[in-house]
Amino acid sequence: MKGTVVTLSYCLRENDEHGTLLQETDTNNPFVFLFGFGHLLPDFEGNIQGLSVGDKFSFTITAERAFGLYDPEGLIDLPLEIFMDQGQLMEHLLEPGQTLHLRDEEGEIHRCTVKKRGLSSVQVDFNHPLAGKNLHFSGEILDVRYASPEELDHGHVHGPGGVAY
């Protein structure tokens, strides 16, 4: 299937088919991706490899093989002053649940989620939002086609009018 564009609908739940719903797509808003380019969890691609249009799937990926175990050391208090811009606190960034992209001393960007704001610090979580969760996927393959040379060259799917998605 490497080098194909796969279109599918899926339901993502925590732990098993009865778990908390985490994400869902459908035939009106399917998930479309370029298979075999390392954009997805390897176990996700491994579980759908070889499936054809109309095939249904249902599988679980353990936390360790998905986004890793939750690391309590990823929960960090940062001083409020790093969220200042021209003497003003950027309040809009500090709401619980807000996703931030912060740059470290080496210039690398790290994604984190605001957990809570204190008087002098902001608690952020650098764990992936799905860290520590077993993921259960169920769904159906809606379409499989060969990727165009342009899609293969760019490493992503192009939609109508050449728009990448």
Long-range contacts of 41-46 (CB under 8 A, 24+ apart): 41/65, 41/66, 44/137, 45/1
Question: Total domain count for the chain?
Answer: 2
Q: Which helix (H) or strand (E) holds 45?
A: helix 42-48
72 Cβ neighbours under 8 A, 6+ residues apart:
none
Same domain for 148 and 111, yes or no, is: no
Same domain for 100 and 144, yes or no, is: no
Grade residue 162 by pLDDT with cuts at 50, 70 and 90.
Answer: very low
Same domain for 62 and 84, yes or no, is: no
Same domain for 62 and 143, yes or no, is: yes
Strands (E) in 39-134, as ranges, are 56-61, 75-79, 84-85, 88-89, 99-103, 109-117, 121-125
Same domain for 19 and 36, yes or no, is: yes
Grade residue 145 by pLDDT with cuts at 50, 70 and 90.
Answer: very high
Domain that holds residue 107: 72-125
Read off the CATH number of the domain in which 141 is found: 3.10.50.40
Read off the CATH number of the domain in which 102 is found: 2.40.10.330
Amino acid 133: pLDDT = 97
Same domain for 24 and 42, yes or no, is: yes
Q: Could you tell me the two tokens for 146?
A: 């060969």
Same domain for 48 and 26, yes or no, is: yes
What are the tens digits of pLDDT across the range 76-114? Answer: 999 999 999 999 989 999 999 999 999 989 999 999 999
Q: What is the pTM of this model?
A: 0.83
